[in-house]
Structure formats: C-alpha cells, structure tokens
Amino acid sequence: MTKLPGKILVVDDDRDILFTARMVLKQHFTSVRTEVNPTFIPELLAKEPYDVVVLDMNFSMGATSGQEGLHWLKEINKIDTTLPVILNTAYGDIKLAVEAMKEGAIDFVVKPWENEKFLATVMTAYKLRRSSQQVANLKSTQQILSKDLDQQFSEIISQSEAMEQVFNTIRKVAQTDANVLILGENGTGKELIARAIHRQSLRHDQTFIKVDLGAISETLFESELFGHTKGSFTDAKEDRAGRFEAAHEGTLFLDEIGNLSLPLQAKLLTALQNRQITRLGSNKAIPIDIRLICATNMPLYEMIEESQFRQDLLYRVNTVEIRLPALRERTEDIALLAEHYLQVYAKKYQKEGLKITKETLKKLEGYHWPGNIRELQHAIERAVILSEGYALQPDDFVLTTPVSKNEKSHETLNMEEIEKKTIEEAIRKHEGNLSHAAKALGMGRTTLYRKMKKYGL
C-alpha cells in the first residue's frame, strides 16, 4: 500500500494513546510524530510543516477542564491558521470539544476511539489541508496573472519590410516549443512579440507569465522564480508558488535576462537544464513544463567575451533568435503608430476628432526616436493632453534632438565617426557616468573603455 506524503503530529500525555495512534497512522502516512509534552508544539511546528495535529484536551494530572487544550489550540492557530487540529477528548468533554471547534478546531475524536473512526477523521483533515494548499497555490498564480492582465497592450502595428521578416519568424517558430530569444533596444516591443508567439502557439489556452528580471533583487530571485515554503525566510508567512510553477504547461517570458548576475544565471541554467525547480526552504524537486521566451536589450555576445554572461545559458535560451528593428529603422511605421496612439489617447482624454497634420507627421518621421515606440507613445499622449486645437501641430511635440531628412543627407556615413559621436553624446548626456553611458549604449563597461581608448576620448 502506497503511503500518503503527510506529516501527522499527535500530542497526548497518555503514552498508550500515542503508541496506538502511531501504529494506526504509520500504515497510511509517511511521517507520524508523537509528543507527550505540549510545550514543545511551537518548536516542532517551527522546524517543519505538519499536515494535521491531533491534540489532547487535558495534560496535567487530574485536569478535566480542557483549558490546556484550548490554550495550545490558540497557540497553534497563531503559528498557522490553516493547520487542521483534531481534539482528542474523553466522553465528558464533548460539550467542551464542540466549543473548542468554534475556536478553530476542525473535529474531535472520543477516547477510547475505534481505529477506523480515528483514521477516517485524520484522513479527512489531511485531505482538507492538501486542498487548502492547492487553493493557496492557485491564489498565487491568480495574483501573478492579475498583475499581467492589468497591463494594457495594443496589437503590433506595422507595414514595414523589417517587421514582416519578424512576423515570418513568429509564424514559423510559434507552433514549436523551441526556446526563443528576442533582442532589441528598449521600447521596440519585445513583450508584444513574446505575447504574439504565445497566442499562436499550441499553449495559447494556457497561462503567459512575465518576469521582469531587471526588477528582481538577488535576495528575492529564488523566491520569485522557484517559490518558497512557509518560514523559509522572515516574511514567508505561507507556502507560495513561484513563476515557474505558475507558468506550468504555458509560456514563461523572462524579460531583461541580460541583467542577471553570474550566480543567478547559474541557478536559472540549472532549472532549465533539469526542467525542475525546488522551492526555497524545501528539498522536494518539482517538474516543470514551460515554453521559454527571453528578451534583453543588452549585447549578450559582447558580454560573453567579457565574461559577464554565460555562453551555455545563451545556447540554452536562444534556439531561435529574433532581432527587433529600432523605430528609426522602420520609419514607414511612424505615421501608422502615431495615428493609432492618437485615437487611443483622444478617446481617453475626451478629445475625439483630434487630428494630426502632415507637417507634424513629417517632423515625427525626421526624429531618430532613441526611446523607440514607447517614446513615440508618450509623446503622442503628452501632445493630446496639452493640445488646445483641433489638430496636433509640430509645436505640440518637444523632441530633444530632431533630425530632418535634409540634415541626415549631410551627415557622415563613416561607421567609426558615427560610433565616436554616439559615445561622446552618451557620456555627455550621463554627465560622465560611464556605467550609465555603457548601459544606454547597450554595451559593457569594458567594451566602452576599449572604444574610448580607440577614439581618444
């Protein structure tokens, strides 16, 4: 007979009762702990989680009031309100036992009990405990999902040839379970591409879970991704499923993977290689079945050369690689996107009928958009809010470094000169902070230092 993976704690001052309870329960559960001294209850519950506690009502010699049982019932509830407690009582204490159930006990058994009755009561409590844990896991998943669903995402809008190549790749890869790595600058729509892959995949009716790795601290990484058990750290008030478990049989989107430190990269690689995770505070391995999509704006190949990113992790996550073009590389989409966001924000701010002039579109198409689509979206929203006329005019847009098409024609086409000027601009913009400048340029600090030396900066 296969035993249930349950941990039962029986607390009673009668050693004969403890012996019988252990003999009955040991046949059905993997772990049965007996204890004669109730003062050890807090220590026992702190060391490991139990599924059911069977608690005597009286412990002191000659005691019949049941107050000791009530006291320890309250102490157990302080530690874990969801832990089922069964009271072990004599015939004369039944009325008191019923009162104790109002204090949180789940059931009671009357001594001397029949073994079948005792086992059935414990079994019922165990099943309730397992059900409540499943509900807690579902709650964790729903909380993660609700955060994702609260975010607003528009459809991908494009008529450019550069994006058509991206769409072709999506159509080919979506129906497979291949890992996908999406590369592109900030604001190019990497998450939209990830969601498009999920919607067209065989897992489209399952969950899509996003994790912003750039926003997770080193200390919370394992808890967020792999989950934790109650008491595994100071604020761990209950068992909680991580993002990997929440994405089981669905898609897990790891955004900003290039921001992970080397130790965290190693932990992620282990989980991906083994296709299983272990919750923080537990030794139990949990198998996972996910479709993995990762994204970053960081230069991973340069980071590998500088020993800032693991090559084996890169091979693991980029079975198929998708590079998203910057908005300046798909200027034919600027008018489409501008019209789309104009309709969105004109409706939001009760300015339906607002137009955008040809002169304004020309100005927008001549700007280099370092913040890409996200910058364009914010610029349109700001213009709609501040506009007082019937149409958005060029002056409604304050663009930091507008570049006209005529000006572009007189610029140097020498790649080294362009790179040198870009580096100088980044250093100036970030007031000499080379770490920030390197991040803005999408390169590692070592690479930036090398290029500064090359150009005599």
Would you say residue 148 has pLDDT above 60?
no
19 HSE (CA, 13 A, CB side): 3
pLDDT, one tens digit per residue, over 398-408 is 886 544 444 44
**Least confident segment among 3-12, 48-57, 84-93:** 84-93
Residues 6+ apart with CB under 8 A from 421: none
CB 256 within 8 A of CB 190: no
| Token representation of residue 373 | 């689509």
**Per-residue model confidence as pLDDT tens digits over 249-275:** 999 999 999 999 999 999 999 999 999
pLDDT band (50, 70, 90) for residue 446? confident
Query: Which region among 314-323, 345-354, 430-439 has the lowest average model confidence (pLDDT)?
Result: 430-439
Q: Could you tell me the end-to-end alpha-carbon distance of the chain, in angstroms, rounded to an integer?
A: 76
Q: Residue 112: is the preceding peptide bond cis (ω within 30°)?
A: yes
Report the share of the chain in percent with pLDDT over 90: 56
- Residue 392 above 80 pLDDT? yes
Q: What percent of the chain has pLDDT over 70?
A: 90
| Residue 452 confidence (pLDDT) | 80
Structure tokens of 91? 């015939």
327 has a pLDDT exceeding 70: yes
Q: What pTM did the predictor assign?
A: 0.58
Helix (H) or strand (E) holding 398: none
**pLDDT at position 411 over 60:** no
More confident of the two residues 149 and 272: 272
Length of the chain: 457
Residue-level pLDDT at 400: 66
Span 45-67, pLDDT tens digits: 988 889 999 999 888 766 667 78
8 Å CB contact between 59 and 38? yes
Sign of the dihedral through C-alpha 186, 192, 195, 201: negative
Residue 402 confidence (pLDDT): 45
Contact 226, 364 (CB under 8 A): no
Residue 403, pLDDT score: 45
pLDDT bracket for residue 153 (50, 70, 90): very low
The pLDDT of residue 154:
39
Question: Hey, is 442 helix, strand or coil?
Answer: coil
Q: Angle at the Cα of 67 (from 64 to 70), degrees rounded to 5? A: 130
Which amino acid is present at 112? P
> What would the mean pLDDT of 14-35 be, rounded to a whole number?
93
Output the pLDDT for position 405.
Answer: 42
Confidence label for 150 from pLDDT (cuts 50, 70 and 90):
very low
User: Cβ–Cβ contacts within 10 Å for residue 122, how many?
Assistant: 26
**Domains of the chain: residue spans and CATH:** 4-132 (3.40.50.2300), 151-323 (3.40.50.300), 327-407 (1.10.8.60), 412-455 (1.10.10)
Does the structure show a pLDDT above 60 at 146?
A: no
pLDDT band at 113 (very low <50, low <70, confident <90, very high): confident
Reference 193, options 184, 141, 289, 339; nearest CA is 184
* Three-state SS at 56: strand
* Residue 211 one-letter amino acid: V
Answer with the residue of higher pLDDT: 8 or 445: 8
CA distance 211 to 389: 42
Between CA 347 and CA 227 the distance in angstroms is: 41
> Going by C-beta distance under 8 Å and a sequence separation of 6 or more, which residues neighbour residue 214?
255, 256, 259
- The mean pLDDT of 21-39, rounded to a whole number, is 94
Phi, psi of 260 (to 5 degrees): -70, 140
Q: How far is CA 285 from CA 280, 378, 388, 407, in A?
A: 11, 45, 61, 61
In the prediction, which pLDDT does 453 show? 74
Distances (CA, A) of 231 to 45, 114, 137, 236, 238: 10, 36, 16, 5, 7
Average pLDDT of the chain, as a whole number:
86
What contacts 275, CB < 8 A, 6 or more positions away? 287, 288, 289
Q: pLDDT tens across 215-245, in order?
A: 898 889 999 999 999 888 888 888 889 999 9
Tokens of 128: 């309730």
Taking residues 169-181, what's their average pLDDT? 94
| Range with lowest mean pLDDT among 86-100, 269-283, 356-370 | 86-100
